[in-house]
Structure 1
Amino acid sequence: MKRIVIFASGSGTNAENLITFFKNSNKASVVQVLTNNPQAKVLERCKKLKVSALSFNKIAFTETDDVLNILKASNPDIIVLAGFLWKFPENILQAFPNKVINVHPALLPKYGGKGMYGMHVHEAVVANNETETGITIHYVNEHYDEGAIIFQAKCEVNSNDSAQDVAAKIHELEMAHFPRVVEQLILKET
């Protein structure tokens, strides 16, 4: 059975979707969720779904091997960033090469980089009168949103769409595609 560890920073809808998707799978399961936000709603979701969840601070993540050691103990086959906002440290990327993936709420390379997350992305898409946007699932490297692209899905942006409308469309794409892409990556390794 393949092991998935999720990193999240906020409400955890993508994390919950992944946990639920793999709940009855005989191929993989989410064994742990880690968050940098002790107030994150993802912690409540994990409690309800009976999945181990821990929060950590910046020192444990970037200045020590504490989070790395937690990951080594969890022995994940894949690490999934689902709304995780911190840049991933090199010690973890080196310990888990080509095992860390992220979902970004735009069609990279557009609207990527530091500070481009969530509503910031959707507001920029609307402000620039884009006619389409989407999601990008990509490998994580030492730079924000620059890892190799695994998968993209597109949606239309109408001229009267607000940033909230775009966010709702992106959320639908994430819910539909993210778990399946994770599953495909896991099956490829088998």
Structure 2
Amino acid sequence: MRKILLFASGTGSNVENIIQYFKNHHDIIVVGVFTNNPHAKVLDKAKKHNVPTLIFNREELSEGFVLDKIIGIKPDLIVLAGFLWKMPEEIVAAYPNKIINIHPALLPKYGGKGMYGMKVHQTVLDNKEKETGITIHYVNEHYDEGEFIFQQKINIEDCASADEIANKIHELEHKHFPEIIEKLLTK
């Protein structure tokens, strides 16, 4: 049995999509959802699907508490699905090429500290890009700089708002993120 541990900070649409994708999978299971946000809607989604959760603060993340919890779970893959904090180097070092992230743009463009969610989509719109997309990548010690695993482009010339871009990106994320996770765990 392969185990996925999810990290998220917000509403958790990708988390719920991943949980549902693997719900009836015989070889892969979501074993937990960790969040830094005690008010995150992702907690409700995890509870709805009977997935255990952990809420932690910045100190617990940086001082080893979260790493100890991860070690106790022994995940095969750690998936950042809308997790906004940088992973500590100790966790990255303990799980080389076992932590992945999804970014709502075609990295290396529109990545780095502070570039997440609607900020990315608004910047893409403001720069009059004709296409954008998603990047799934390994996590290293820098924001959005890990080795790329997968990218998918989409035309956005018909989008008049950041919300319209976000909707197209969510469709890409929901289609491809679980498939890439499955490929990584079954190769």
**TM-score, shorter chain, exceeding 0.5:** yes
Deviation sequence 1:5-26 (CA, Å, 0-9, x none): 0000000110000011001101
Name the aligned partner's letter for residue 89 of structure 2: E
Structure 2 counterpart of 1:33, one-letter code: V
> Which stretches in structure 2 are left out of the alignment for 5+ residues?
none
Q: Give the percent of matched residue pairs that are identical in Structure 1 and Structure 2.
A: 58
1:3 and 2:9 equivalent? no
| Alpha-carbon distance, 1:27 to partner | 1.8
Q: Which amino acid aligns with 1:19?
A: I
Cα distance in structure 2, aligned partners of 1:159 and 1:48:
36
SS in 1 for 2:160: coil
Matches within 5 A, 1:1-190: 1-62=1-62, 64-158=63-157, 160-188=159-187
Matched residues in 2 for 1:136 and 1:11: separation?
A: 20
Partner amino acid, structure 2, of 1:150: I
Whole-angstrom distance in 2 between the partners of 1:165 and 1:155: 12
Normalized against structure 2, the TM-score is what? 0.99
Q: Deviations over 1:106-134 (max 9, x none)?
A: 00000000010000000000000000000
**Superposed displacement of residue 158, structure 1:** 1.4
Taking the aligned partners of 2:125 and 2:56, their CA distance within structure 1 comes to: 35
d(CA) in 2 for partners of 1:185, 1:81: 14
Q: 2: distance between equivalents of 1:18 and 1:67?
A: 22
**C-alpha separation in 2, matches of 1:83 and 1:89:** 16
Q: Please, which moves more after superposition, 152-161 or 73-82? A: 152-161
Q: Give the Å deviation of 1:160.
A: 4.6
How large is the Cα RMSD of the aligned pairs?
A: 0.7
4+ residue segments displaced more than 6 Å: none
CA contact (8 A) 2:118 2:166 kept: yes
Map Cα deviations across residues 62-86 of structure 1 (whole Å, 9 max, x no partner): 1x11000000001000000000000
Counting matched residue pairs gives 187
> How far apart are the structure 2 equivalents of 1:160 and 1:109?
22
Where in structure 1 are there 5+ consecutive unaligned residues? none
- 2 CA distance for matches of 1:186 and 1:145? 21
Q: Kindly state the Cα deviation for residue 60 of structure 1 after the two structures are TM-superposed.
A: 0.1
Distance 1:98 1:32 in 2: 19
Q: Which amino acid aligns with 1:176?
A: K
Q: Single out whichever of 158-167 and 43-52 deviates more from structure 2.
A: 158-167
1:80-108 Cα offsets, whole Å, 9 max, x none, are 00000000101101111110000000000
Q: Distance in 2 between matches of 1:75 and 1:125?
A: 38
Give the TM-score normalised by structure 1. 0.97
